[in-house]
Amino acid sequence: MLKNSESSQLLPPEEKPKHFLWRYHDRLRICARAICGDRQQSETDFLTEVAGLLKQMGIEVSKMICGRCGEIRTGNETIFTRALMVADLEPEESVTLQQQGLGEGRMLGCGLFVPHKGIDPVFDVQE
């Protein structure tokens, strides 16, 4: 329920101001905090490789962006990782990627995707 600023009372949903146009997104974003990779590989080559892996899974990608690089240290090795956000997925593609993951290192938390809050506004205000 929205708050009426004049009287500080809550307005019932049927009296919602008409200048709000609610927009729901049917395309989804998901991200992984760590994808195992090669430290020597450029970001462009990494994205190209990921796009190929996703295509093999039946996922057509239109938007991806890398995030921070990091390392996971195990008893005898150091694994280089990159964060990755994949945007504009169909709901089925998002579920597939969340279920299957990407790359190696699942037991270390690598390649696991979770839904990501977008930066688009929830609604547009029309004047």
Q: How far apart are CA 126 and CA 22, in angstroms?
A: 10
Give the pLDDT confidence score for residue 116 in this predicted structure: 80
In sequence order, the 6+-apart residues with CB closer than 8 A to the CB of 41 are: 49
Q: Which residues pair with 32 in a beta bridge?
A: 84
Mean pLDDT, to the nearest integer, of 96-107? 93
Q: Which is nearest to 31 in space by CA: 118, 121, 91, 122?
A: 118
**CA 91 distance to own-chain centroid:** 12
Is the pTM above the cut of 0.85?
no
The answer, yes or no, to whether residue 6 has pLDDT greater than 60, is no
Q: How confident is the model at residue 117 (pLDDT cuts 50, 70, 90)?
A: confident
Mean pLDDT, to the nearest integer, of 101-107? 92
Q: Tokens 């969340």 map to which residue?
A: 98
Q: How confident is the model at residue 10 (pLDDT cuts 50, 70, 90)?
A: low
Task: Note whether 86 and 100 are within 8 A (CB).
Answer: no
pLDDT, tens only, 64-93: 999 999 999 998 999 999 999 999 999 999
Tell me how many degrees the CA angle 95-98-101 measures, rounded to the nearest 5: 135
Fold of the CATH domain 28-115:
Alpha-Beta Plaits (3.30.70)
